[in-house]
Structure 1
Amino acid sequence: MNQPILRMALGALACLLLCTAAMAASPAATDEPEVPAAGTVRFADGRRNSGWLDFEFFREQRIFLPARVNGRDTMLLLDSGAEMSVLDSAFAESLGLARTRNVTAKGTGGTQDASFLPALNVEIGNLRLDGVAAAAVDLSGVSAMVGHALPVVLGNEVFAQATIEIDFAQRRIRFHDPASFRPPAGFRSLAATHGPEGIRRIPATLEGEGPLSFDFDLGNGSPVLVSAGHWRREGWLVGRRTAGAFGGGIGGMQEQRVTRVKSLELAGFRLRDLPATLLPAEVSNPGTSPAAGNLGLPVFRRFHLVVDYPRDRLLLRPAEDAARPFMHDRSGLYVLREDGALKVAYVVPESAAAQAGWQAGDLIETVNGTPVRALADPGAWRLGQAGTTVRLGMRDGSTRALVLADYL
């Protein structure tokens, strides 16, 4: 008998691409639809929300929260694009969790072995989630690409049961009981409809075309992923520059292409000049209508955001620094953390690194004189300003000077 396929938008965890954009819109008040009879969240001490909780905003691309899983302190990634929660296989084993059924996980990188786990108990501050469905997957490859430990990914269970308010400017988050939540003034509402595997889809206009349907994915560190069915249409790439990239997630990493899109508009707010990853193949279920793409956290980081799945909506209000330039890779090197070093996994052909002779497999042991082992984020230098010289100490004892530069 064939194993069932567990499709996971965690596969959208991809290359580190950010953008510079401008926004213009005036906020408007929203109506209050009724909350449907749905699952409820549980807060300690009879409270109706968690209060503000600080989070780690890793590279301004992903949200990591301190939590307890089955009584064990850990950090978890908050991911609206994960069909269900995921534990790294090694972390699941450390908790003594027996795997109950083998499945196949499918992401943008391909397929990978996985197993269902017994239901979990998750605590975030005074928020309690009992009976969380989860799977065990080897996340070591994704962790190496992201550049951060990845023991737990918390998926749709918390989004389905709580209204989640995220203040990116202050690096804080608040979980609300949906029945008692009332948004402050000045937010615009955006419909969040049901898509395949419980992933929500939102309408947006891409370069004046639309509205188109996009997956809403806070686990994706890229602004825009454009589906193969969209960018492969006749004429879409005409006049666009593209460059090589390397990304993926569940199922592995692969070579990709990136470009830039002129504009993206959602809820009446317009963003301009966004880097976009061109997905090499469709990853949606057969028989379902594919989305035009996937919108990641760098887009929503520009707002004070409320994720209100119980009312089938997002609420958006521009942050004060909404037009601030976003960082993006200027090194031309995609690196994986490996045995106390950074291993070059891919060299962008169009980059200065390629012209300087860098090759996949090169091993970096120091960055500007500091050992990779001692760096909390050993890949952050890739996102520096153009013209910055980075001195990289190699395993063979040599030192190479790499000048960061735009290549797209």
Structure 2
Amino acid sequence: MRRALLALVPLIAVVFVSAREPAKPVAAASVSPASRDRGVYRLFDDAEARWVPFELTPGNQIRFTMQLDGRDRTAILDTGVSYTLLAKASPAVDTAKLVAGGSAQAIGGSVQLGWMPTRTLAIGGLARTGGGVTVTDLPAIATGSTAAVDLLVGADLLAGHALDIDYAAHRFRLIRSGRLPFKGETAPLSVSTERSVYESAATLGTRRLAPMIVDTGDGSAVTVTAAGWDAAALRVPATTAVSFGLAGPVVSGLAIVPEFRVGAMTARETEIRIEPAGGFSQSIGAAGRIGSGFLQKYRVLLDPGARRMVLSRGPTADTPPLRSTSGLLIGIEKDRLKVLHVMRGGPAAAAGWKDGDLICTIDGIAVTGDYASSPIASWSAGTSGRVVTLGLCDGTTRKLALKHFY
């Protein structure tokens, strides 16, 4: 099903480039990433049969259920996070065990961290005894949904094995490194010693971009630095978009390019987000990110131990990305839509729309809690020339003529 174009695109990357101790520690003790108990891992003999079902959130993230200390917890699979994160608001947090964990660089700025030891952890055919999790604020808006999750499962838990993500069947599994369960096109993959996240390389125009973080927690398709975009010298129209990281909102450029290459694979009509100068990728020494908005078009094998990523085209691989024709990027707030960003050069900008405007009806139909999966959600990327009547929550109405503009 084609999704409506929403602004609720989460960009969750937390990279321990240089962890620092906070000015006010969570507790008297402090545990640095280098000195943490790593735990003991076991991959069961039948791991290949232990598929983990997941749902793809409105923000293109892999949400599933795992076990932490013997209890089910909700989680997002996030190869762009160096160390697995537990939400501070989760009932799984034991404040008596919580110690200071420094801070780390996240999209939107830096975040303060704690650290908590754990007894057991299990995902599919993988189990860990001992070890621990990083603890920080994890707002729902940063996970692409109105509902928060307990955990972001990061590279520390995943990288010792191969991760097979079958997006079309909504399932994934962890298997032995070196296995090749399906055929596809191959790209390089490693876990960097500097950033402790999954990294590959890509080509945009004639420009090779490396390292590119392979980030299943990033709901967008592909993100590049401003310098990388300029070096690619592509003559395509661009607008603006907003996304959300753990440290807050980020405004970036947005364009759709005719060709994007990852290893031996060439993708057509790919959505590219362009970070401003000094953005997250540049600040950690990366060229950009390949997110779940791109990866979901393929079956994906991420195997840093074998130094390869394998992509097999899925049923939507050649489907062009949706383009906003309204110029409004919106978030869902129960029974209303909130304008999170007015895109540069779009019809909404020309009509005077502002960030924060609240919409309660679309062509007379009320916005409800199931808006994201309802037919009315397609209006923001509707046919050029269509006129939509939007009812604001203050009782006024506005008409908006849709138009292609990028």
TM-score strictly above 0.5? yes
Aligned ranges for residues 43-62 of structure 1 at < 5 Å? Answer: 43=44, 46-59=45-58, 61-62=60-61
SS in 2 for 1:91: coil
Q: 2:237 aligns with which of 230, 236, 241?
A: 241
Structure 1 stretches lacking a partner, 5+ long: 1-8, 13-37
Residues 1:326 and 2:321 aligned together: yes
| 1:100-140 C-alpha deviation (Å, 9 max, x unpaired) | 10522322211233322223633334542334542222222
Aligned ranges for residues 251-270 of structure 1 at < 5 Å? Answer: 251-270=247-266
Does structure 2 retain, via aligned residues, the 8 Å contact 1:88–1:137?
yes
Q: 1:400 to 1:89 in 2, by over 3 A?
A: farther
| 1:43-85 C-alpha deviation (Å, 9 max, x unpaired) | 3xx5233433321122472211122333343321111111111
The equivalent of 1:135 in structure 2 is: 134
Amino acid at match of 1:293: G
Distance 1:391 1:293 in 2: 38
The equivalent of 1:80 in structure 2 is: 79
The equivalent of 2:108 in structure 1 is: 109
Does structure 1 retain, via aligned residues, the 8 Å contact 2:390–2:397?
yes
Distance 1:306 1:144 in 2: 23
Give the superposition deviation at 1:371.
3.8
| 1:338-387 C-alpha deviation (Å, 9 max, x unpaired) | 47533222211312222333211212334562443354658954664434
SS in 1 for 2:66: strand
Q: 1:170 to 1:374 in 2, by over 3 A?
A: closer
Give the superposition deviation at 1:282.
4.2
The equivalent of 2:228 in structure 1 is: 230
Amino acid at match of 2:150: P
Distance 1:71 1:96 in 2: 18
Aligned ranges for residues 129-278 of structure 1 at < 5 Å? Answer: 129-131=128-130, 133-140=132-139, 142-143=141-142, 147=146, 149-178=148-177, 182-184=179-181, 186-195=183-192, 196-210=194-208, 212-233=210-231, 239-278=235-274
Give the superposition deviation at 1:302.
2.6
Distance 2:196 2:216 in 1: 14
Give the superposition deviation at 1:268.
1.7
Q: TM-score, normalised by structure 1?
A: 0.77
Residues 1:398 and 2:396 aligned together: yes
| 1:227-255 C-alpha deviation (Å, 9 max, x unpaired) | 1332355xx55744221211240211132
The equivalent of 1:279 in structure 2 is: 275
| 1:185-234 C-alpha deviation (Å, 9 max, x unpaired) | 5333322133232112212222133364311111112221111332355x
SS in 1 for 2:319: coil
Does structure 1 retain, via aligned residues, the 8 Å contact 2:218–2:291?
yes
Amino acid at match of 2:358: L
The equivalent of 2:311 in structure 1 is: 316
SS in 2 for 1:77: strand
Aligned ranges for residues 84-103 of structure 1 at < 5 Å? Answer: 84-91=83-90, 98-103=97-102
Does structure 2 retain, via aligned residues, the 8 Å contact 1:81–1:217?
yes
Structure 2 stretches lacking a partner, 5+ long: 1-10, 15-38
Amino acid at match of 1:219: G
SS in 1 for 2:115: strand
SS in 2 for 1:372: coil
SS in 2 for 1:90: coil
Q: 1:216 to 1:397 in 2, by over 3 A?
A: same
Distance 2:380 2:97 in 1: 40
Distance 1:144 1:284 in 2: 19
Aligned length, in residue pairs: 367
Please tell me the root mean square deviation across aligned C-alpha atoms, in Å: 3.3
Does structure 2 retain, via aligned residues, the 8 Å contact 1:347–1:358?
yes
Distance 1:188 1:374 in 2: 37
Does structure 2 retain, via aligned residues, the 8 Å contact 1:390–1:401?
yes
Does structure 1 retain, via aligned residues, the 8 Å contact 2:51–2:124?
no
Q: 1:260 to 1:147 in 2, by over 3 A?
A: farther
SS in 2 for 1:326: coil
Residues 1:302 and 2:329 aligned together: no
Does structure 2 retain, via aligned residues, the 8 Å contact 1:132–1:157?
no
Does structure 2 retain, via aligned residues, the 8 Å contact 1:108–1:250?
yes
Give the superposition deviation at 1:183.
1.7
The equivalent of 1:24 in structure 2 is: none
Amino acid at match of 1:160: A
Between 1 and 2, higher relative CO (CA 8 Å, sep ≥ 6) is seen in: 1
Q: 1:152 to 1:407 in 2, by over 3 A?
A: farther
Amino acid at match of 1:251: A
SS in 1 for 2:254: strand
Give the superposition deviation at 1:403.
5.0
Q: 1:356 to 1:220 in 2, by over 3 A?
A: same
Distance 1:376 1:321 in 2: 19
Does structure 2 retain, via aligned residues, the 8 Å contact 1:82–1:199?
yes
Distance 2:377 2:76 in 1: 19
